[in-house]
Amino acid sequence: MMRRSAVVTAVFAVAMVVWYATMRVAFAAHSIVDELDRAKSLADLAPRPQATIVLDRYGRPAFTFFVEQRIYAPLDRMSPRIIEAVLAVEDRRFYSHHGMDPIRIAGAAWRNFRAGRILEGGSTITQQLARASLSSERTYDRKIREILLAAQLEQRYTKAQILEQYLNTVYLGDGYYGVEAASRGYFGKPASNLEPHEAALLAALVRSPSSDAPSAAPARALKRRNLVLRLMRDQGRLSEHVYQDERVAALVTTQSSVESRASGTTSTGDSGLYFQEEIRRQLFALFGADRVLRSGLRVYSTFDPELQQQAEAAVSNRIAEIVKSRRTAQDLQGALVAMDPTTGDVRALVGGRDFNASSFNRATQARRQAGSAFKPIIYAAALERGYSPGTLLRDLDEPIDMGNEAWLPDDGHEAPEYTLRTALKLSSNRGAAQLLQQIGISTAVYYAQRLGIESQLPLVPSLALGTGEVTLLELTAAYTAFANHGSVAAPRVITRVEDSLGTTIYTAAERHTQAISPTTAYLMSSMLSDVISGGTGSAARAAGFKLPAAGKTGTTDNYADAWFVGYTPHLVAGTWFGLDLPAPIMRGGFAGVVAVPAWGRFMRAATAHDKPDWYAMPADVEKVAICRLSGARATEACRHQSDVYAVVHDGSSPQLLPAAAMLDQDQKPLRTLAAGESPVYEDLFPIGAVPADMCPIHNPSSGSFGSTSSSQASDSPAPVPGSSPVATSGTFTTATSDIVLERVLGPDGVMRMIMRQKR
């Protein structure tokens, strides 16, 4: 009896719908042809806007850019579970109707009649797809248009095509359009891997995606999910056993921030936002915003999520430590860039302490004075011009003639003489300034440009102190030449872009420039390794970083900027700390105190699985022991020169003085070794840079000054035991310094050895 009553009710409801439709046609017969024509024009499954998806260096989805966050997926790449779930709750007779389900419509009509208003339309999946082309108003006129359009869709397309379009179009809450985007957004997995309870949750969101979203109402979302599971079981789409297991599954989602989705971007979380913005900026420049946001590009990037998190932690933790010490302003900023020196791939990019507070990228957009972090470029230029790590820089306490005035940089290192190696290790300002004068400012700028510095540099002597403004990215990229045998790798964050059909439309090939020789790169790495081992970058070791590495600190006037750029053979990283409006970071805010600890912690984490390795010495480089007095190859006697004497005259009678206090022609000490200073040092030189002749001071019988005659020997005081025979006359000029050594017979008959700079 009840079954008969239900049938009567259904028939009555259908009759009411037919009557209403007939009346509408009767009153609007003149427009029915127009409606059919309009339906034909709208019945086109045109591509919907698709999100551009960015993959990380391992091929995993990292970021998306979109107008509608949609990632198109063909039907055969969707889990059968999501298809079954949607059909169970939205259109169980999808494969048997022709666009309209009379039974479903009759049921909806009866419920609407009882309510006295339109609560539901009983629409099929085809009708829902058609509705996307119509207005959102709930009227019977729109319903008629919807039915006509659905009929056109069913005539033009297969069921599979309609279902595929629907599953890629339907809105599923929290900014996700289509099951692929929703699956990745809610569960962090493609739609092909959905479990039954996950598929049921997505299907449950179709009816009311905003109010039933798990982020808005988790309890309601769970209830709706279990309803869909029950429908799937009742319709034979799930076994009882699977249903019982799935209905007790926890409601677990992993979602991106609402703020990011609202702005048309998403990421794997709050990490990597500066990196994401740099990719977006480059994509917009290449393809335009509309194509990036709508056409579903597939972008292959160099982004390394693990290194990115380590970089962000290193910067934020160091800022927190400094701020907590109450030695700096609260708005201290930091930046970090990590690159593969062989490819130029940027693996991590931090542009500030908080992207949401400030999207200004201090790694790529801010130009700041580099301080001493710029000095390696000058030293590399000098090595290219024939200098060596062991070349002596003398008279560092003498002002530099600048034409109208003399200039002597302030320097905490007051020694008047350093080798290039020591000057770089101690970051001597005077050493760098004199070296720049010797090689020429234009030469230094030329090599800076070869090393990839694109910023405009000032042609002034203070360039030696890093007064030129550069970005962290370009300075870090310059150091790839030292790490990669002299070849600069241009930085890149994108490697390839494909369109929605998988066709490659852009390729960013590796770009290399052989900026300096492999020998210069090796010598620079040797010198810069001293900075970390015992120089201004030694705090990296205190931070727990143990691998062989090289690098250089940079501190600007008033401690406004703190830099450190360093590298291993496999990773180059640069850090910067400062305030956006230049001001002292903190009292005593040297880079070795501010920046190096952050670099050391990052590198410790980033290279945790790397094995220790270093560069092999080139075949054209040798290690040579040099006498500090002559600048020539040292003899064994050089190491004991306190026992070696030279003949001098004080104006009244001959005297024997230690060779360490050699006098010039004016009887003034030319060079004097400091207390405890070794008379010999060892360093690396290109083969041939140091003549084979041994030190003439401590080995005068080597032939540089000829042979000794008995008459001359008899006129000279008796040799001190252990000393070398006295040569007669001659000159000697070393490769490392313009020093002239002479034996001169004075008018008083006394033979003198003098040492002077070549004029």
Catalytic annotation, residues? 90, 372
Kindly report the number of other CB atoms within 10 A of residue 53's CB atom: 21
Q: Which two tokens stand for residue 720?
A: 């001190």
Can you state the angle between helices 305-324 and 596-606, rounded to 10 degrees? 150
Give backbone dihedrals phi and psi of 426, rounded to 5 degrees, phi first.
-90, -5
**Cα 237 from Cα 240, distance rounded (Å):** 10
3-state secondary structure of 225: helix
Rounded CA separation 589/645 (Å): 48
User: Helix count (H) and strand count (E) of the chain?
Assistant: 26, 27
Burial class (CB in 10 A: 0-12, 13-18, 19+), 373: buried
Ramachandran region, residue 57 (left: φ > 0; alpha: ψ -120 to 50; beta: rest): alpha
Q: Is 366 helix (H, G, I), strand (E, B) or coil?
A: coil
- For residue 177, the SS3 value is strand
How long a stretch of residues is the chain? 759
Q: Write out the H or E segment, with its range, that includes residue 183.
A: helix 179-187
Strand 346-350 with 368-369, pairing: unpaired
For tokens 């000054």, name the residue: 705
Angle ∠(269,271,274) on CA atoms, nearest 5: 120
Q: How far apart are CA 291 and CA 533, in angstroms?
A: 51
The amino acid present at 90, given as its one-letter code, is E
* Total Cβ atoms within 10 A of residue 441: 17
Q: How far is CA 544 from CA 216, 316, 597, 600, 693, in A?
A: 45, 18, 9, 7, 45
Distance from C-alpha of 488 to C-alpha of 490, rounded to nearest angstrom: 6
Backbone angles phi, psi at 440, to 5 degrees: 100, 135
